[in-house]
Amino acid sequence: MQDLVYHITEHETWQKAHQAGFYEPANFATDGFIHMSTRGQVIRTANRFYAGRKGLVLLAIDPQLVTSAIIYENLEGGSEPFPHLYGRLNLSAVIQALDFPPAQDGSFHLPAALQAD
């Protein structure tokens, strides 16, 4: 099985996805893709862009079930490529949606449900 990819979103946005039948974040229209991270990147991503934010959910996504193209690319000149989903995320590809609260100091850590993997 291919490694999972991850996406951080707000609970409210995730709930709206269930009503719509697909997931598409607000910045999709501007960016043209959905930002994702590998397991090794997700905590750095969370701490860089979401430090201290509450009400988040971490989506664990099986790339083999995604119906749009995932392209690993480096668009910001960093040292590593990140997965980007060029299309809406079909809900059937999301194998887990985990509450993703920050620690007391505002930092994020891998949820316990993913640490055992």
What amino acid is encoded at 31 in this protein?
A: D
Structure tokens at 108: 């994020």
3-state SS, residue 27: coil
Q: What's the pLDDT score for residue 63?
A: 97
Cα 50 from Cα 79, distance rounded (Å): 21
Instruction: Give me the tens of pLDDT residue by residue for the chain, a chain 117 residues long.
Output: 459 999 999 999 999 999 999 999 989 999 999 999 999 999 999 999 999 999 999 999 999 999 999 999 987 777 899 999 999 999 999 999 999 999 999 999 999 888 755
**Chain center to CA of 105:** 22
What's the rounded Cα separation, in Å, for the pair 94 and 26?
18
DSSP state, 21?
T
Q: Over the stretch 57-87, which tens digit does the pLDDT of each residue have?
A: 999 999 999 999 999 998 777 789 999 999 9
Q: What is the DSSP string of 36-79?
A: -EETTTHHHHHHHH-TT--SEEEEEE-GGG-SSEEEEE--SS-S
Q: Average per-residue pLDDT in the chain? A: 93
pLDDT of residue 1: 43
**Which candidate, 17, 24, 38, places its Cα nearest to that of 114?**
38
